[in-house]
Amino acid sequence: MKTTKNDIQQWFQALQDDICSGLEKLDGKAQFEEDLWQREGGGGGRTRIIQNGVLLEKGGVNFSAVYGETPAAVQQAMNLPPSNFFASGVSIVIHPISPMVPIIHMNVRYFEIDDNLWWFGGGIDLTPHYVMPELAQAFHRGLKSVCNEYQLNAYSRFKEWADDYFYIKHRQETRGIGGIFFDNLNETSEKTAKNNIWEFVQAVGNAFVPLYQEQCEATRNLPYGDKEKNWQALRRGRYVEFNLVLDRGTKFGLDTNGRTESILMSLPATAAWQYKYTPQADSAEAFTQQYLRKGIDWLGITP
């Protein structure tokens, strides 16, 4: 069966519905509010924002499907001739209230040029304010089993890609414990049929709610105080730095006159910066900091 852009777009839209209802159930109180928007050159999206919940402080689950003439900025960045493009995807960032609960991000997307060039991209990564090795391991195990269904070495390929992508170069630290990241997946790069890649992308999308639920259930009732809230605010500051300085999706959106409120839904409700902040030796914060680096074998560690 041929997977058309129409199928893909409809599936992404249904994924947005599923994830929103999953997150509402997880929160127990807050509901998503929806904004529909249209893009001048063609297409549009459904931005859904959740705020001030019991568990979730601020987050967004965005669906979009846009098309038309490839914008000049995109042509340049991707080295494309004048062409028509189609892009659809779901993009999520969730900031919880409790500093004990991790921030999560997911994105799955499909891109097509002139109805013949196409590729998939996406990823999930987790940013715990406090790294708990057993939960980090559980997260990576979950991602590995999604990847194993696809290709034997997919997890290690995409895990390494995430380590490189979610790296805050100017801080020499990763933004969290990573996850998986992939881009430009097509028949040539993956040596497999479009349907297989598409099934993998769907499996990534479907993994989001159960993976985050597991993290939330294990952490949402942990106690915390001002010290933990302060640290959370500083870690959120780093999240802001990553998203505004380094994230390609954000840059792409702002450069192509995307809907700013939808793009910047990824920013937390509050963030903080302190000159030369260094956690105290042997503190829980210092424990976390040592894990903010590339190349950790989360499946191999003994939590």
Q: Taking CB under 8 A as the criterion, which residues in 60-99 touch a copy of itself?
A: 60
CA distance linking residue 102 with residue 178, whole number of Å: 12
Of 6-14, 176-184, 239-247, 286-294, the segment contacting a copy of itself by CB under 8 A is 239-247
Q: Choose among 43, 11, 47: nearest CA to 263.
A: 47
Residues facing 263 on adjacent strands: none
Residue among 86 and 231 whose Cβ is closer to a copy of itself: 231
Read off the tokens for 59.
Answer: 């987050």
Q: Which residues are CB-contacts of 244 (< 8 A; sequence separation ≥ 6)? A: 250
Nearest-10 Cα torsion for 242, 243, 246, 252 = 170
Residue 245 binds a copy of itself (CB under 8 A): yes
Name the DSSP class of 264: G
Q: Taking CB under 8 A as the criterion, which residues in 27-46 touch a copy of itself?
A: 35
Q: Taking CB under 8 A as the criterion, which residues in 270-289 touch a copy of itself?
A: 270-276
Residue among 56 and 135 whose Cβ is closer to a copy of itself: 56
CA distance linking residue 271 with residue 277, whole number of Å: 14
Minimum CB distance to a copy of itself, residue 49 (Å): 5
Of 156-164, 190-198, 199-207, 240-248, the segment contacting a copy of itself by CB under 8 A is 240-248
Q: Contact 42/9 with Cβ under 8 angstroms? A: no
Which one of residues 233, 239, 285, 296 is an interface residue with a copy of itself (CB under 8 A)? 233
Residues facing 108 on adjacent strands: 90, 122
Element (H, E) at 33: strand 33-38
Residue 138 binds a copy of itself (CB under 8 A): no
170 annotated active-site: no
Of 64-72, 107-115, 148-156, 232-240, the segment contacting a copy of itself by CB under 8 A is 232-240
CA distance linking residue 186 with residue 119, whole number of Å: 5
Residue 7 binds a copy of itself (CB under 8 A): no
Write out the catalytic residue numbers: 105
Binding site for a copy of itself (CB under 8 A): 35, 49, 51, 58, 60, 169-171, 233, 237, 240-241, 244-245, 254, 260-261, 263-265, 267-276
